[in-house]
Amino acid sequence: MTEMLTIVAAMAVTGVALVVLVLLVTRATRPHSDPGGVAELARLQQETSVRLLAMGDMLAGRQAELARLVNERLDSVSHRLGTSLETSKQSTAEHLQKLNERLAVIDGAQKHITDLASQVTSLQSVLSNKQQRGAFGQGRMEIIVQDSLPKDCYEFQFTLSNRSRPDCAVFLPDQRPLVIDAKFPLEAVTAFREAKCEDERKQAAARLRQDIGKHVGDIAEKYLIPGETQDLALMFVPSESVYAELHDGFDDVVQKAFRAKVVIVSPSLLMLAIHVIQQIQRDARMREAADRIHAEVGLLMDDLERMHDRVLNLQKHFNQANEDVRQILISAEKVEKRGARIREVEFDGEEDPAANVIPAPVTPKLQAGE
């Protein structure tokens, strides 16, 4: 850009010089009476023509240089603009791709939210129906019992002697069932939670106490049979929040139920009770199998004694084998020493070794009668 300004300034100076020359020529062309002035004027015209031609050539060169610089600048600007547009295009494409991915994730999340809303709606419809709510609580109770106890230790819808059928009966080692009831009056709890003023809250609390008290009384009357069932019965509450709310705001109801030998349990407490029952049944099976275990231990001890005797016999055999090996080594040492002594009596001369051997004495044979 500085070069372009310089060229423009040079062109302006050249234009001013042309104007000055034109003025000089104009002044010189005025009529003079001196003939020498005419010659001087001709010389000035010639010099002015040469200068004008030189200035024209210089101006043409400057114009060409200016056009070249302008083209170079335009090419550079066009290249930078194209590169910038390409970079912006790629960046825009990447951002659009990420935006599409985010939109796909949002669509998936929205679908999950819609499914969850439908499930919550279905759960609300289930809980609003008393029979379906009872089936929901019984289903949770059955899952907890089935996951922890063998099949011969419980029975659902067990019939007692008074024709009542509790939701679940867990058989303890004394064969008296522990009754579990999975029904719970949830309408009073819902009304207590949805109360908008203090009067409605008091009415809902009174109704809750009345409904739970009636249900506890029904459990104690139907499912607690002396000599047939256990002394306690469990009332299952299928919600931890409802159980916590009962203990926080209705401790008198919980204590009243306990005095009636009905224990209110949540899912976590029912799991704990089932695990305790499982341990009790395992201990009972161990006590029942104590005699058999004692007999098996006696047989095991006999096997250990026999194994001990056999190990001792094997040790004796090993000791005898060691003694035999020791005797063999002693004999080998004696043979080796005797061979060494025999080697020492050999001669290195050319004589026949057999000639130097002293013949063994001949034992005369005994005649008959000698």
Q: DSSP assignment of 67-98, as one string?
A: HHHHHHHHHHHHHHHHHHHHHHHHHHHHHHHH
User: For residue 347, how many other CB atoms are within 10 A of its CB?
Assistant: 9
Task: Average the pLDDT over 233-238 and give the result.
Answer: 86
Q: Which of 262, 249, 234 minimizes the C-alpha distance to 193?
A: 249
Length of the chain: 370
Confidence at residue 120, expressed as pLDDT on a 0 to 100 scale: 56
| Residue 103 pLDDT | 86
pLDDT at residue 121 greater than cutoff 70: no
Predicted pLDDT at 12: 58
What pLDDT shows up at residue 22?
57
Rounded distance between C-alpha atoms, residue 61 and residue 52, angstroms? 14
The single residue listed with the structure tokens 């024209």 is 56
Q: Work out the pLDDT band at 348, boundaries 50, 70, 90.
A: very low
| Averaged pLDDT, 82-108 | 86
Tokens read off for 321: 């084998």
Say if residue 359's pLDDT is above 70. no
- Mean pLDDT along residues 17-24: 56
- Rounded to an integer, the average pLDDT of 171-176 is 82
Contact residues for 252 (Cβ-Cβ < 8 A; gap 6+): 209
pLDDT for the residue numbered 118: 66
Helix (H) or strand (E) run with residue 177 in it: strand 177-181
Where do we find the tokens 């009357």? 221
In 3D space, the residue among 140, 165, 166, 367 whose CA is nearest the CA of residue 274 turns out to be: 140
Look at 11 and 215; give whichever has higher pLDDT.
215
User: pLDDT at position 24, please?
Assistant: 56
Give the per-residue pLDDT at 360: 44
Residue 236 backbone phi and psi in degrees, to 5: -85, 125
Give the residue with greater pLDDT, 36 vs 75. Answer: 75
User: Confidence band (pLDDT; 50, 70, 90) for 37?
Assistant: low
Least confident of 110-114, 166-170, 290-294: 290-294
Average pLDDT of the segment spanning 73-100: 86
Which range is most confident: 123-132, 191-200, 350-359?
191-200
Q: Rounded mean pLDDT of the chain?
A: 77
Q: Which residues are within 8 A (CB) of 258 and not within 5 positions of it... i.e. 6 or more apart?
A: none
pLDDT digits (tens, 9 = 90+) for 135-155: 667 778 888 888 888 887 888
| 229's tokens | 């069932």
Separation of CA 74 from chain center: 59
Nearest residue to 281 via CA among 188, 189, 150, 184: 150
Q: Characterize the bridge pairing of strands 262-265 and 168-171.
A: unpaired
- Average pLDDT on 14-43 reads 60
- Of 160, 140, 155, which Cα lies nearest the Cα of 265? 140
**Nearest to residue 262, comparing CAs of 280, 239, 246, 285?**
246
Residue 125 has pLDDT above 70, yes or no: no
pLDDT in tens, 295-333: 888 888 889 899 989 999 999 998 999 998 999 999 888
Average pLDDT over residues 167-180: 85
Q: Which residue has the higher pLDDT, 118 or 335?
A: 335
Average pLDDT over residues 347-359: 46
User: Is residue 368 over pLDDT 50?
Assistant: no
pTM for this prediction: 0.45
178 has a pLDDT exceeding 50 = yes
